[in-house]
Each structure stands twice: as C-alpha cells, then as structure tokens.
Amino acid sequence: MTQYEREVETPIGRIRIRVSDRGIEEVRFPGDGRRGDAGTGEHPLLERAAEELAEYFDGRRRSFSVPLALSGTPFEQDVYRELLAIPYGETRSYAAVAARVARPRAARAVGAANGKNPLSLFVPCHRVVGADGSLTGYAGGEESKRWLLAHERRVAARDPRMAPSNPPETPPISGSKSVRHRGQKR
C-alpha cells in the first residue's frame, strides 16, 4: 500500500501527517525519533487533513471528517473510539475512559493505549488527563497539550455553537468494527 507524507506547520509546531488510500495512518511530532519513509507526493487526503487542521487551529472546526486508518490491538482501537467521543473542550480521566470501554480497572492500560495513539489531534488523546486533572504525557509535549486544551476552552467559550453539547461526529474509520459500550443501545 502506497503512503504519502506531508509536514504541516501548526501553532504547536510542525507535525508530519502520513496517509494512504484508507485514510490518515499516522501523525508525528518533531523529535519523536521516528523517520518518515513514505513518499512525499500529493494525495487528496493530505490536502484535506491539512485543511481540517487549519480550520481546527483557527477555531472553525471541533471534529474531523477525514477518514482514519485506525490501527492497534482491539483494546487500543476501543480506547481510540472512546477518545473520539470526548466532546470538544472537555477532558476525561484515564479511569473514566477505562470505564467507558467496559474495563474499569484498566486505567493504566488506557494510558498505555493513549500513549501509542498514532493519530494525535485527529484522535484527541490530549483530552485525557490524570484523575486529579493533571496533565500527563503527550507525544507533542506537555506544553502542546496545555495549549490544545486552552485553545478548545477559549473557542468553546467564545462561540456557543462550538461548545460541547452533542457527542462529536465520528470520522469514517477503515478496517474496524463498531464497538458498543456498556449501557449503549444499538
């Protein structure tokens, strides 16, 4: 499968987006130690992802619609789907996410899955905090996480249409099955 990459300048620094025909495969921050090995040609999803990120950082978008090529173990994918359900401008603790994926004693495993999230920003792992509200690890660094959370709160406060009221739309996810959470009806 051919993959394409592009660097995008953002208020939290440069990020590298990798896509394939399936969707966004990976988002990387500088200094993460990984080397890009995908082609740098153009792909429609690269353009769309860059546009949606620009809208997000400009305060005009609260969720993404570009397709995601979610990867990881079934548990990790359950966690990523739950991260997608955290409303814009809000946070959840690792324990709360663990309870939502029907593994209430798995807060540390949720933290490990969160740390492996290959789709930072698009799958908003920055919205997960410690039980006491403290900022915990983030691939882009703690300052980036702080900036992203403050940005979302500012935008939500400024524009009531951006305030969390309904669960965010879930972007199309390729190669994965729908997961039902405990208490959720089909």
Q: Which active-site residues does the annotation give?
A: 125
Scan for tokens 């905090």, then name that residue: 129
Chain center to CA of 31: 19
Contact 90, 155 (CB under 8 A): no
Chain center to CA of 115: 11
In angstroms, the first-to-last Cα distance of the chain is 34
Quote the Cα angle for 67-28-128, to 5°: 75
CA 88 to CA 69: how far, in whole Å?
21
Tokens in use for 103? 């593994």
